[in-house]
Amino acid sequence: MIKTTTKTRQLSDVLVINGIGTDILQGTAVGISAMTIGVIGAWSVSCLVAAVLVAGGPLALVTSWFQAISGI
């Protein structure tokens, strides 16, 4: 008994897109976003440290902040 194998070609309307380029762009976007968040975080910490130094300490900064907010 001989088995015959036939190859059939099936046509479809599905578009296959290679995801490698999309993954690279997505990784780049995540990397740039992380760097931007890091820079903003470092800037905010440096501003807070500068405010503490100018005010004369953390307690003086909090006191000055409450006075500025309440209008005293």
pLDDT in tens, 26-61: 899 999 999 999 999 999 999 999 999 999 999 999
> 14 falls in which pLDDT band (50, 70, 90)?
low
The domain segmentation of the chain, as residue ranges, is 27-70
What is the reported pLDDT for 3?
A: 72
The answer to whether residues 63 and 69 touch, using CB atoms and an 8 Å cutoff, is: no
Cα distance between residue 11 and residue 59, in whole Å: 74
Tokens matching residue 62: 């909090």
Side-chain half-sphere CA neighbours of 16 within 13 A: 3
> 69 falls in which pLDDT band (50, 70, 90)?
very high
Q: Mean pLDDT in the chain?
A: 86
| CA angle, residues 51, 54, 60, in degrees to nearest 5 | 80
The answer to whether residues 61 and 55 touch, using CB atoms and an 8 Å cutoff, is: yes
